[in-house]
Structure 1
Amino acid sequence: MTTEKKLTYVDLLADETIHDAYERAVDRIGSELGRSHPLYINGAETWADAAFTVTSPFDTEILVGRFQQGGGDHVRAAIAAGRAGLEDWSAKAWRERTAVLRETADRLDDQKFLLSALVTYECGKNRYEALAEVSEAVDLIRYYADVYEKNGGYIVPMSPESPGAECRSVMRPYGVWAVISPFNFPLALAAGMAGAALVTGNTVVLKPTSTAPCSALKLYEACIAGGVPPGAVQFITGPGNVFGETIVSHPDIDGIAFTGSRDVGMWLEHSFTTRQPYPKPVISEMGSKNPVIVTVHADLGKAVEGVVKAAFGFSGQKCSATSRVYVQEPVMKEFMDKLTGQTRALVIGDPRKKATDISPVIEEKALQTYEEAIDQVKQDGGTIITGGRRLSYGDYARGYFVEPTIVTGLRRDHPLVKKELFVPFVILDTFTTLDEALREANATDYGLTAGIFSEDEGEIAQFFSAIQFGVTYANRQGGATTGAWPGSQSFGGWKASGSTGRGVGGPYYLLNYVREQAQTRIHTVPRKP
């Protein structure tokens, strides 16, 4: 196992040791790009009748790869393979499964720079974001293995009911899980969901988004190389609607783990509930509209840096991204001036370059969302403080580049204040009292991440007590609402942001993938002579 320092979202910028290794990996990754990739069902390469292409968002002339348009028959075959492999994998001693998952994590860690370069090409992350993501994927798997080990495989002795009784509680796997991963953390979130399901004895049918499937393929390969049996993990690509329709009605799917949009997550919840013969678990991690509160007692330098990183890192394409900032009136002008200056200084460009801060959005649809939001601001009397343009000239011509944007002057019930956009777009507003700021911060269906900047302990205590979000931060300069890390911050949303109340990377997350069985054994008690 590696003993190197962790590369996290909040400390990576200060680590100068990463650059040479990353740049060598970028040079090497070329031989990995442009290939055709199969499905993997029970370990066998499987080819569909049609394929789709994935191109890089920073240069759409770069072909990342060709992937199979898996159909319903492929999905059903993968589910059958998972069902057939369940008995063997779940019967393994829990210590054996944790050893296999740790080996999987080590395989990922050994190629972290190459994987980071792939993430850059596939979804456009700059080197800092890409390296942190790979490190997070590794740590998620290791953390879950540690939690499972710490809890003894969730086997707990219970009090005997009578003489000769042996009682225990055992948390057992549900069975076959469909795992659906998103584009914005194509390796880390796939690793987190699949790793949690596997370590607890379930089998997995892994379906990555068609926008960024290559990183999930590398996860699949690491699982197999680490010792996960072919029957325990399947890899499927293709249309999301075909996969979704198949799994929600298939009797051998025992659970669904999903990270993505609210609309899709709610559809999965409803469809799976109504089409299955009895209730089965759905773990949905969905979007948010994340607020930051800046009071008169804030260190404005910390606040500005924290908001810039959280609002514009990876071009706002994080469910934890800051999208609303409430600033107390006496410090609004100073804060806005500082925020505008730092935002304008950000370097937009090729994410392979060391100097790049702002990378492209993922696809044409995201560009459309951005441009529609800008038009709405102009039509409805808002003010664009900075940004507001798509960049399509020179080096930007073949990518999906936009300017990070700061907006003010929108009414508080405006659709842009309520709707998740997933682009680099943040709305500023003012407040008079902290009660008012908290009321506005909570005035959303979502509840994933929230932050405050204040040096007043009373204000911080009030914030933590009143805020209705699952992941909360005070004075976090490294990212006002972003950058949760396994074992440090459980990452789970309230309200429309999540379905379980047990966060990713936290001590209770594995409990989503298991169900309790009480086991009582009566031993014959020898009679006294």
Structure 2
Amino acid sequence: MGNEVKKYRIYVGGEFIEPANGEYIETINPASGKKWALIPNCGKEDIDKAVAAAKETFYSKSWKSLSPTKRGRLLRKLADKIEQHAENLAMIETKDNGKIYKEMLGQLKQIPAWYEYYGGLADKLEGKVIPVDRPDTLNYTLREPLGVVAAFTAWNSPLLMVALKLAPAIAAGNTVVIKPSEHASASTLEFAKLFDEVGFPKGTLNVISGYGRTTGDALSRHPDINKVSFTGGPETGKIVAKNGLDNFTKVTLELGGKSPNIVFDDADLDAAEAGVIAGIYAASGQTCVAGSRLYVHEDIKDQFLERLVQRTNQIKLGDPLDPETQMGPAANPQQLEKIQSMVETAQQEGGTVLAGGGRPDEEGLKEGLFYKPTIISNVNNTSTIVQEEVFGPVLSVIPFTTEDEVIKMANDSKYGLAAGVWTNDIKRAHKMTKSLEAGTVWVNTYRTVTFNSPFGGYKASGIGRENGMEALYEYTQTKSVWINLSDEIQDPFSLKL
């Protein structure tokens, strides 16, 4: 993968500049454990400069005169740029977070669709005329941008999350400051170079980097931020929401998950097996929608677990750039430590490891942050491993006998991001989708998303939605306009109802 250490600069006001404090964070390649990049560790001066640039652009003539149609064209032009550079961006993401290259490349090839979709919607944000009960009065609404948006992305799929936030924010007429995770900032800083070539007014997009507890905290509480869109863990999400409340800042939160994957006795077991594997081991389990809770019907439990364990033990760990690799490493040392700790806790609480349960000792894997794909049984719904998000390749298994029983267990969680159901009974499928407390329910499939279908969570999994028209509305505010068409003089001491 090369030994070159690349030094990145932040992107502020249309210029690539060094951080004012001269500080940088070393980034390691999770697969090799070696340093490969330096990213800026921004301080208050950089944050103020980035927010000021976005604010100045938002109120500038160059931005106000850029019609929604022209904004849409620039977003579609950006889509073309990303498509042209997909391989390079995917390579950078693989080096940064350790996810396998073929998945990152697959994402990068799909990401342009978000910019194309919202580029097409930019000039379709319409208000409406309200049929008020006054023939002499015209009332209509306008959907207007909020102003400066602060977007926070997580380390598992940085550029996909950038697309989910940046595309609708700009389509709605806002300017943006992005702060990626300190564990995976390189691809977003690299992406800024493409954005710079498209032709948006300088200051439309600004990218800063640094630690969440300092740089991120200061950005989320900045008084000139009008909207925060955050993807990350629930505890940090609470801090972001509280920071926003101090300034009455609108907040969208896409947080964690502990998603149930439910297999009934009438399911197509071949399809269910593939879906369960995809739900927990794809991306090394480092996805917010990871199907980490497997509920399997008692009548097929032994049969299904036997084939699942066999398949899990065959998963190939290795170099994320190797086309044969199926699962890469944990993204950073802190995450690997968390995975190990939670598996140990599960065993202390009585859980039985059926597969994995530790780090590999093969040459070529020991140096990286790898953890074996793991299955744990003999747990119950109150077990720590069942209630808390691992964000790693660890599957907990619980048997069930009735629909009502599994619905109760599936909903017995503080999270509600996603859920999977495997059944060939159409009535059961509809009952389950209606009963499960989750923002997304997949039936006979798993881990499927697209640009025009809303995505978000119930309960502690978040506030608001991304994707689709609903995301576009998250970046606007509604103005009600009243126009008096009569010659009647209003009584100044009476509310006109």
TM-score band w.r.t. shorter chain: over 0.9
**Deviation of 1:44 (Å):** 2.3
* 1:439 positional shift: 0.6
Counterpart of 2:266 in structure 1 is: 297
Deviations 1:465-498 (A, max 9, x none): 101101011111xxx3x131222x4221111111
1:270-285 correspondence runs (5 A): 270-273=242-245, 275-276=246-247, 279-285=248-254
Q: Is the 8 A contact 2:346 2:383 kept in 1?
A: no
C-alpha distance after superposition, 1:269-297 (max 9, x if no partner): 12221x22xx2211110000000111111
Query: How far off its partner does 1:243 sit?
Result: 2.2
* Whole-angstrom distance in 1 between the partners of 2:101 and 2:46: 35
Pairing 1:396–2:358 present:
no
Query: Equivalents in 2 of 1:127, 1:364: separation in Å?
Result: 20
Name the aligned partner's letter for residue 162 of structure 2: A
Contact 1:294 1:454 in 2 (8 A): yes
Paired residue type of 2:449: A
Contact 1:136–1:486 (CA<8 Å) still a contact in 2? no
CA–CA separation in structure 2 for the residues paired with 1:52 and 1:345 = 37
1:347-388: per-residue Cα shift (whole Å, max 9, x none)? 111110111101111111111112112211221211101001
Partners of 1:112 and 1:330 lie apart in 2 by 46
Provide the secondary structure at the position in 1 that maps to 2:420: strand
Matched, 1:59 2:32: yes
CA contact (8 A) 1:392 1:401 kept: no
Where does 1:232-271 land on structure 2 (aligned, <5 Å)? 232-271=204-243
Match of 1:137 in 2: 111
Q: Does 1:486 align with 2:458?
A: no
CA distance in 1, matches of 2:436, 2:449: 18
Gaps of 5+ in 2: 488-497
SS at match of 1:412: coil
Q: 2:491 is matched with which residue?
A: none
1:110 counterpart = 2:84: yes
Indicate the residue corresponding to 2:294 in structure 1.
325
Instruction: Select which of 227, 232, 243 maps to 2:199.
Output: 227
Map 1:60-459 onto structure 2 (within 5 A): 60-61=33-34, 63=36, 65-88=37-60, 89-149=63-123, 152-159=124-131, 167-273=139-245, 275-276=246-247, 279-459=248-428
Cα displacement string for residues 191-228 of structure 1 (whole angstroms, at most 9, x for unaligned residues) = 22122211111111111111111111133222222222
State how far apart, in whole Å, the 2-side matches of 1:261 and 1:139 are: 27
Structure 1 range deviating more: 128-137 or 205-214: 128-137
Contact 1:101/1:223 (<8 A) preserved:
no
Question: 1: CA distance between counterparts of 2:461 and 2:106?
Answer: 23
Kept after mapping to 2: 8 A contact 1:90/1:202: no
- 2:178–2:205 contact (8 Å) kept in structure 1: yes
Correspondence for 2:443: 474
> Which amino acid in the other structure matches residue 120 of structure 1?
T
Instruction: Tell me the CA shift for residue 391 of structure 1.
Output: 2.1
Instruction: Give the whole-Å Cα distance in 2 for the aligned partners of 1:62 and 1:51.
Output: 13
Secondary structure of the residue aligned to 1:402 is coil
Q: Does 2:22 correspond to 1:45?
A: no
Q: Which residue of 1 aligns with 2:493?
A: none
Asked if the contact 1:180–1:208 (Cα under 8 Å) also holds between the matched residues in 2, the reply is yes
Counterpart of 2:329, as a letter, is P
Cα shift at 1:417: 0.7
* TM-score, length-scaled by structure 1: 0.87
Residue deviations 1:410-434 (CA, integer Å, cap 9, x gap): 1320111110010100100100101
**Pair 1:71–1:171, CA change in 2 (3 A):** same
d(CA) in 1 for partners of 2:77 and 2:467? 19
- Displacement of 1:167: 4.2
Cα pair 2:416 2:438 within 8 Å, conserved: yes
Q: Percent identity?
A: 27
Q: Contact 1:471 / 1:492 at 8 angstroms: preserved in 2?
A: yes
For the pair 1:35 / 2:3, whether they are aligned, the reply is: no
User: Does the 8 Å contact 1:119/1:215 carry over to 2?
Assistant: yes
Counterpart AA for 1:331? I
* Corresponding residue pairs, total: 483
Structure 2 length normalisation: TM-score? 0.93
Quick check: 2:11–2:189 contact (8 Å CA) kept in 1? Answer: no
Does the aligned pair in 2 maintain the 1:351–1:358 contact within 8 Å?
A: yes
User: Which of 483, 492, 516 is 2:478 aligned to?
Assistant: 516
Contact 2:121–2:171, Cα closer than 8 Å, also in 1: no
